[in-house]
Amino acid sequence: MPASRRVGRLIPHNGGHRLQLVEDTAPRPGPREVLVQIEAASLNYRDLLVLRGQLGPVREGLIPLSDGAGRVVATGADVTRWRVGDWVAPIFYRRWIAGPFREAYGPAALGGGDTDGVLADLVVVPEASLVRIPDGLSFEEAATLPCAALTAWQALVVRGRLAAGDTLLVQGTGGVALFGLQIATALGARTIVLSSSDEKRARAMKLGAWATVNYKTTPEWDVEVRRLTDGLGATHILELGGPDTFDRSLRSLAAGGHIAQIGVFTGFGPHSNLIRLQMINGTIDGINVGSGEHFEAMNAFLETHGIKPVIDKTFALADAQAAFDELAGGRHFGKIVVRL
């Protein structure tokens, strides 16, 4: 077993944290644990919130990032599910293997609070908290799935029951939004993509969007969504903006439609008057990533439909801080990956 590992850790900085790269002793798996050589990790908007201290206290020295993929390099004595060489990804909520979510699972979310994440070339993971990654994906591609893709999957498929002929609205061209677009397209639904960039709108059309709206030059994008849908509105919405976008999402929603409340781009503030939701028999579901069982079902779907995650840029571990800066700049289309 390897004696040492390279790892990124968060140290306090200017009221938030910054990344420090160090070498330390490689962990050893317990009887029901697996040692995984992480080959790639990816960043989510949440990782910026963790870095800035916006999700509450973070243990000094925490290993950030929830999303990674790699290969099994050693197994504990009682491990039955995995063998050395298997290609795997850890699940976001280490203890949410299957069944309904429980609040007690929250603190075990990778890469936040007191729970180490995957920005290390060797990590130990309980055998039940791993899934096999889809055939045909590279480690970089598979590393984008555990949070971003699974959130879109739970929102659209598990909870939203999106079907052919439905119309999805997504906000922006980041990770969750583009996975939403790809999953919806594979299901035969049409997707309207909001973006602040005309260049990204063109890329979204190439990826399968049915229509796009520039939310900067068309701030009343709800009016445009209704116009595009002959006055009916979108049947499904991935609400990523939060307080500043929620009213317009409500006004963009078709009768009987489904809003997946997911994001906090504009903050954690209070939400709108929900009377319109009542008047149109609409539904809001709060979405928090997904379970290992959801992850496995999604992977089968991605394999069947040959869906490839959209990677914008890949950074070396030595440049991991630059990967955070790139995410904060908002220039990306899809995912930002760190190669370990």
Ligand X SMILES: NC(=O)c1ccc[n+]([C@@H]2O[C@H](COP(=O)([O-])OP(=O)(O)OC[C@H]3O[C@@H](n4cnc5c(N)ncnc54)[C@H](OP(=O)(O)O)[C@@H]3O)[C@@H](O)[C@H]2O)c1
Whose CA is closest to 36, among 69, 65, 71, 6?
A: 71
CB of 330 to ligand X, least distance (A): 4
Dist CA 176 CA 42 (whole Å): 13
- 265 near ligand X (CB under 6 A): yes
- 5 near ligand X (CB under 6 A): no
Part in contact with ligand X (CB under 6 A); list of ranges 82-90, 156-164, 189-197, 229-237: 189-197
- 263 near ligand X (CB under 6 A): yes
CB of 313 to ligand X, least distance (A): 12
Element counts in the chain: helices (H) and strands (E) = 10, 15
Part in contact with ligand X (CB under 6 A); list of ranges 34-42, 99-107, 124-132, 284-292: 284-292
Part in contact with ligand X (CB under 6 A); list of ranges 5-13, 24-32, 260-268, 298-306: 260-268
> In the β-sheet with 190-195, what is the strand arrangement from edge to edge?
211-214, 190-195, 167-171, 234-239, 253-261, 283-286
* Total residues interacting with ligand X, rule: CB under 6 A: 32
In the three-class reduction of DSSP (H, G, I as helix; E, B as strand; rest coil), residue 1 is classed as coil
Angle at which helices 292-305 and 175-186 cross, to 10°: 60
Dist CA 282 CA 160 (whole Å): 11
- 182 near ligand X (CB under 6 A): no
* Residues 197-216 as x/- pattern, contact with ligand X by CB under 6 A: x--x--------------x-
CB 283 within 8 A of CB 258: yes
Whose CA is closest to 166, among 247, 94, 257?
A: 257
Q: Using CB under 6 A, which residues numbered 18 to 77 contact ligand X?
A: 44-46
- 266 near ligand X (CB under 6 A): yes
Contact footprint for ligand X (CB under 6 A): 44-46, 147-148, 151, 171-177, 194-197, 200, 215, 240-241, 245, 262-266, 287-289, 327, 330
